Amino acid sequence: MAGKSGTVAAVLAGAAIGAALGILFAPDEGSKTRKKIKDGVDAKKDELKDKLSELTETVKSRFGIAKHDLESSIDHLVSNVEGKADDVISMLEKKLEELKKNAASAKAK
């Protein structure tokens, strides 16, 4: 994304420099020069809108994929934890039964 913002900055800088040079070296009268500048600014504005729209779609797409991957990973983790919890509960129940048997046999002696 750093490359995209650099591109946007370069486009803006290029538009500003181009407008300044156009004014300095314009052989036309003021009204024609202003129209050229306006047309150039409008063209750059449209280009910038297109780039911004493209960048927005790219970001949305990447975040959408990342969100899906994260949700999938969380679901997988939850299912693993649930399975492990069942295993731990089962093991603890077995240990409790062993302790009860040991306590009963110790009490009988």
DSSP character string of 10-21: HHHHHHHHHHHH
CB 52 within 8 A of CB 8: yes
- SS3 category, 28: coil
pLDDT for 2 = 52
Successive 10-residue mean pLDDT values, the chain, 109 residues: 70 79 70 76 84 83 78 79 77 85 80
Task: Kindly report the backbone phi and psi dihedral angles of residue 25, in degrees, each rounded to the nearest multiple of 5, phi listed first.
Answer: -110, 15
Q: Where are the domains of the chain?
A: 2-108
CB 30 within 8 A of CB 4: no
pTM: 0.39
- SS3 category, 94: helix
CB 30 within 8 A of CB 81: no
Query: Encoding tokens for residue 16?
Result: 């500003």
- Shortest CA distance to 40 belongs to which of 15, 58, 23? 15
pLDDT tens digits, residue range 30-47? Answer: 777 677 777 878 888 888
